[in-house]
Amino acid sequence: MKTWKLLGLGVLALALVLFIGCGKAEEKPAADPTPEPVEVAAAVDHTPTAEEIGTEITCAACGMAMTVTETMPAAMYEGQTYFFCNAEEKAAFIADPAKLLTTPDSVKTEVEEGSTH
């Protein structure tokens, strides 16, 4: 009889361990609150091609009318070529193309009027 009591207590103990151990849900790591980085297209340096040289264009920064030359500052962004009056405008565009592309025309006109192109 003593054996049955010990066996019963052992089975009960095992059942409790399994019940308590299995009752816990696996803790999942907390979701990272940092959003996934969004890939942003970068503006890159561009050398005018033979087809572009001689084409009449406007400066992407100030709107001044120009003819493309071999040495004209230019950049590619999202599949489009942008030409500039000078290297400083191109460098500013490459650093932050969205800033130039979202600048209202009235601000570009003010820049053009104060420009020394």
Tell me which of 37 and 102 has the higher pLDDT: 102
Contact 59, 85 (CB under 8 A): yes
pLDDT score, position 84: 95
Q: How far is CA 33 from CA 30, 37, 69, in A?
A: 9, 12, 49
Helix (H) or strand (E) holding 15: helix 2-23
| pTM flag (> 0.85) | no
Domains of the chain, residue spans? 44-111
CB-based burial label for 70 (10 Å; 0-12, 13-18, 19+): exposed
Convert the pLDDT of each residue in 13-47 to its tens digit.
566 555 665 555 566 666 667 766 655 678 899 99
On the question of pLDDT at 109 being above 80, the answer is no
Convert the pLDDT of each residue in 47-92 to its tens digit.
999 999 999 999 999 999 999 999 999 999 999 999 999 999 999 9
On the question of pLDDT at 10 being above 90, the answer is no
